[in-house]
Chains A and B, each alone.
Chain A
Amino acid sequence: MREHAYIDSNIIILSHVSGEFYKIIFHSKILNNIDISRRGTMFPVSSTCMNIANRLTKLTCLTSTFSHNKLFSTSQCLMELRLRSRVRVIDNSPIGKAAATAGKPGKIMHIYNVAAVGRIGDKVMINIMGQKKKGYIVGCRQKQKTNVPRFDTNNVVLVEDSGTPTGTRIRHPLPSCLRHKKYGEKHSGEFTKILSIATKFV
């Protein structure tokens, strides 16, 4: 599980440390300066608790000088596929091509797993050109294990509700690990249809 830090009404709750050190910081310095609307927001934490403390001290400076509407990122770039992250359709379906030419890539509406983080081989629901489509993630920008390719874009292959692929051919390379039978079993044979229209594996 990824660690999270919450800012509640009065205390900071850290999932792995509830040291008083952080509480004191919050009571004395930070909490008074933070905009009320930001309380209760969640801060994904990359490494340590000290990191959050550092970031939040920066936050006080920012809130005092800049307008409250200005959003800023407090997390390290994980490049995870989460809700509303944009994906690129790599099969030759007309809707995918239209999205690419219009410069309006599909957005993930739902990820069919418990963690709600899309990884290679996961099924997702996509909002593309105002339509609701389903698809499979075939290639991520996120850091991968050894021997698994990391792509520069988040690639998706569209499928119909019945499970047949929308396109007829995939002219881009797919990761070879997708041929593992665990993906086929998980999605009851829908995956083999995608693999059959693929041309290249890396």
Chain B
Amino acid sequence: MNIIQKHICRCLLQKCNSGNVPLSFVPARQATVLNWLLDKHRKSQLSQQPEKEDDIEQETIMVPRDYKYLYPEFLPPTNYRHRDRIREKLERQDMFCRRTVIEVPEFYVGSILAVNVADIYAPSKNTRFVGLCISRENDGLRTNFILRNHIDGNGIEIKYDMYSPLLQSIEVLKLEKRLDDELFYLRDCPPEYSTIPFDMEPIHLPTGSAVPLNTIKVPLGPRPWDKKWDIKNFKGLQPSNRVLGKRAATRLERSAKPWEEHDLMKQYRESVNDDDVETALKEVVLKTKKKNTKSQRRQ
């Protein structure tokens, strides 16, 4: 429990008691902040009052549609239990601070990136790694992505924190999307599908064009595999000709969940509310506006 929470807790406790119960009965230090106390603090007028300078502008701001995909880490977490309005706001500020230093480009799972990282043990004080982005996880400041490459007969994956101060630059060499949200199955595919030369030159798209979708279907290598990729319904995998035994077939039948695509409640739980998205992205629009005006003034 940090100092602020402690302070809030104590203040609220004092208010609630308001002289009826002597304060000596109230435990001075509690292991956790009580939920109802924290809720009360959040619902209070103090915490709901927006910042004054944004008040007028926020009504007129229109959020562009593609911002949802351009800034996915600015959205609140999909899991409702992990949400915290104050923490998210603070994190967004920090992320913007970091974005003033390095340029975080638009990229998706399936794009090819080159990353420069500060490395005190290297003679040049930094290392460069080029690879295919196979996953993009988490939200807020903890956003990370994994790059995969095949170098000299070694499949190599490196995970990077997107807002780590060690990152010096992120460069997109090829902007592309794949059919799946994560490409961990490349671990068990032939190496040519994850081999990327280190001296690859960036391929630029014409301005205003949509992000191309790579519809490549990758064949799986021989077993044993890391996971049972063939029964997980990946769109980017070639259908395997593995003959399932009686037991495996029944297991596959049992694990199938055909109702999930019609499960509206599940879709709702896994997506973020439109209003929440807008409040988060309005901040982004405001900050980018301010940043642009500042840079114009300097010029």
Q: Are A201 and B127 in contact (CB under 8 A)?
A: yes
Complex interface: chain B residues within 8 A of A202 (CB): 127, 129, 151, 156, 158
Q: How far is the CA of A176 from the CA of B226 in the complex (A)?
A: 26
Task: Give which listed residue, B127, B144, B151, B187, contacts A146 with CB less than 8 A.
Answer: B144
Q: Are A180 and B121 touching (Cβ within 8 A)?
A: yes
Contact B166 A152 (CB under 8 A): no
Interface of B is mostly: strand
Residues of A within 8 A of B157 (CB): 149-150
Give every chain A residue within 8 A of B153 (Cβ-Cβ). 172
| Set of chain B residues within 8 Å of A152, measured between Cβ atoms | 154-156, 187
Q: Does B273 contact A (CB under 8 A)?
A: no
Give the distance in Å from the alpha carbon of A179 to the alpha carbon of B155 in the complex.
Answer: 21
Interchain nearest-CB distance for B234 vs A (Å): 19
**Counting CB contacts under 8 A, is A171 at the interface?**
yes
Chain A: minimal CB distance from B165 (Å): 12
> For residue A148, which residues in chain B have a CB less than 8 angstroms away from its CB?
158
- A166 interfacial contact with B, CB 8 Å: no
Q: Could you mark each residue 216-259 of chain B with 1 if its beta carbon is under 8 Å from any beta carbon of chain A, else 0?
A: 00000000001000000000000000000000000000000000
Question: Which of A77, A146, A172, A176 has a CB less than 8 Å from the CB of B154?
Answer: A172
Separation of A85 and B119 alpha carbons in the complex (Å) = 31
From B121, B154, B161, contact of A139 by CB (8 A): B154
Known contacts A176-B127, A177-B121, A202-B129, A146 near B156 by CB under 8 Å: no
Name the B residues within 8 Å of A171 (CB-CB): 152
Q: Which residues of B contact A139 (CB under 8 A)?
A: 154
Q: How many residues of chain A get a CB closer than 8 Å to chain B's CBs? A: 23
Say yes or no for B42: interface residue by CB 8 A criterion: no
B159 on interface, CB distance cutoff 8 Å: yes
Residue of B nearest to A178 (CB): B121
With A144-B159, A201-B127 in contact, do A179 and B152 touch (Cβ < 8 Å)? no
A147-B159 contact, Cβ under 8 Å, with A152-B154, A200-B152: yes
Known: A152-B155, A173-B154, A201-B127. Contact between A146 and B121, CB under 8 A? Answer: no
- Ranked nearest first, the 10 interchain pairs of A and B with the lowest CB-CB distance are A152-B155, A179-B121, A150-B157, A149-B156, A149-B158, A146-B159, A146-B161, A172-B152, A173-B151, A176-B127
List the interface of chain A (C-beta within 8 A of B): 77, 139, 144-153, 155, 171-173, 176-177, 179-180, 200-202
Task: Point out residues on B near A: beta carbons under 8 Å.
Answer: 117, 119, 121-122, 127, 129, 144, 151-161, 164, 166, 187, 226
Instruction: Jot down 24 A-B pairs with beta carbons below 8 A, ordered by A.
Output: A77-B226, A144-B159, A146-B144, A146-B159, A146-B161, A146-B164, A147-B164, A149-B156, A149-B157, A150-B156, A150-B159, A151-B156, A152-B156, A153-B154, A172-B153, A172-B154, A176-B119, A177-B121, A179-B121, A180-B121, A202-B127, A202-B151, A202-B156, A202-B158
